[in-house]
Homo-oligomer: A and B are copies of this chain.
Amino acid sequence: MMQVNEIEWSEAEKEVAKAAFDTAYQREIKALIDEVRKQSSAIVEIDDIWRLHDFLSARRHNIDGKYDYEYSGLIFIFASLVKEGWLHLNELDGLNTNKLTKIAAIARI
């Protein structure tokens, strides 16, 4: 098993990580706002509203669970964000090769 919990983060890496984390969050939130506006502009009947509610419940659960800025989980968070398309690997430039390799590997799973 890869040891990802005991990784040290330099101050420079922490800055890169925080910026990438915030960038991904802003992108995902913006996409969510756009999607909600689109869905709600198409509301005609009550089922459309319950569908919107189900959609929001799922997105909230996912977003609340994912954006937890703890260094112990950051490798996995970045891997998820890369896999889902909210972050490009090259936006993590500045992390050391060891971290980047792990993030890329987990993102491919």
Determine which of B36, B46, B56, B57 lies in contact with A33 in the assembled complex, contact meaning CB atoms within 8 Å: B46
A46 cross-chain contacts in B, Cβ below 8 A: 29, 32-33
Size of chain A's interface in residues, with CB distance under 8 A?
17
Question: Min CB distance, A107 to chain B, in Å?
Answer: 25
The main secondary structure of chain A at its interface with chain B is helix
A36 cross-chain contacts in B, Cβ below 8 A: 40, 43, 49, 52
- A93–B40 Cα gap in the complex (Å)? 38
Mark each residue of chain A from 37 to 49: 1 if its CB lies under 8 Å from any CB of chain B, else 0.
Answer: 1001101011001
Question: Which residue numbers of A lie inside 8 Å of B, CB to CB?
Answer: 29, 32-33, 36-37, 40-41, 43, 45-46, 49-50, 52-53, 56-57, 60
